Amino acid sequence: MITITNIRYHSLTLDTLTIPPGITSVVGPNGSGKTTLLRLCAGIAIPDTGQICIDGISPRETEIGWVNEFPDKNILFSRVFDEIASPLRFCHAPCRDTRDAVHRIAYTLNIDRLLSREMREISGGEKMLVALAAALVNSPKLLVLDEYDSHLDAAHCDHMESVIRESGASYVIRCTQQMEAAAHSDHLLFIEHGMVKYAGTPETVFTSLSGTPFYPLSWRCRV
């Protein structure tokens, strides 16, 4: 369980929040604090007050995969293979294990054709897939995705949904503008003005958002 208590950081105020295992989507207006919450959960930012624990351990002591919403901000190395391999190399994994893991995740994401390419040569959507591969290659306990799906077409989004669900990560926290994707999550958080206004299953949260732009289009057509 991810437990968040007495968090104060920038505009975000969270007294008590629990995130269970599974896929949790975070939705809400622009500037509401969604990315700030993701950065705190990933250990990239440290709250002014309060704490976040992932199964009783701080984020910075947990294996976490992170994908930034801006493709170029994910890049550390010039070659695709090296970019995907970087988390394993930072952990001093054996070369053969690293090579096998990179090829395995690249094949799963259908980007094995890109492994010898330079990062500057590939598209924004391909960069996002490479970033996702790098986030997954080390089998993280927590996968944090900040609007990665806004750079992908519907077919890639559907495939990535399956990959993420089968990744083995105990927790997936993702910010998305795609309400249809959010509707297929296990849990949903709606953030507004720096606070979690609604939390629960998609059915529970979206029922409270009926009539707003955050209500899934497909649900409006249900009989």
pLDDT digits (tens, 9 = 90+) for 85-114: 999 999 899 999 999 999 999 999 999 999
Question: Cα–Cα distance between 87 and 168 in angstroms, integer?
Answer: 17
Question: Cα–Cα distance between 131 and 71 in angstroms, integer?
Answer: 8
Q: Are 145 and 172 in contact (CB under 8 A)?
A: yes
Q: What is the pLDDT of residue 83?
A: 96
Question: Cα–Cα distance between 209 and 111 in angstroms, integer?
Answer: 37
Which residue type does 185 have?
S
Neighbours of 169 (CB within 10 A): 23
Question: Cα–Cα distance between 209 and 211 in angstroms, integer?
Answer: 6
Q: Is the pLDDT of residue 211 over 90?
A: no
**pLDDT tens string 167-200:** 899 999 999 999 988 999 999 999 999 999 999 9
> Shortest CA distance to 209 belongs to which of 184, 185, 191, 186?
191
Q: Are 162 and 23 in contact (CB under 8 A)?
A: no
38 SS3 class: helix
Q: What is the pLDDT of residue 14?
A: 93
Mean pLDDT for the chain overall: 92
Q: Is the pLDDT of residue 139 over 80?
A: yes
For the chain, what is the radius of gyration of the CA atoms? 18
Q: At what angle do helices 154-165 and 124-136 cross, to 10 degrees?
A: 0
Q: Token digits for 217?
A: 């289009």
Q: Are 130 and 84 in contact (CB under 8 A)?
A: yes
Q: Is 194 left (phi over 0), alpha (psi -120 to 50) or beta?
A: left
214 SS3 class: coil
Q: Are 85 and 135 in contact (CB under 8 A)?
A: no
Q: What is the pLDDT of residue 89?
A: 94
What is the average per-residue pLDDT within 1-5? 95
What is the average per-residue pLDDT within 127-139? 95
Full set of structural domains in the chain with CATH: 1-63+142-223 (3.40.50.300), 68-139 (no CATH)
Question: Cα–Cα distance between 42 and 105 in angstroms, integer?
Answer: 21
CA distances from 53 to 13, 40, 41, 58, 59 (A): 16, 11, 9, 5, 7
222 — pLDDT class (breaks 50, 70, 90): low
Q: Is the pLDDT of residue 82 over 70?
A: yes
Higher pLDDT, 160 or 104: 104
What is the average per-residue pLDDT within 17-30? 95
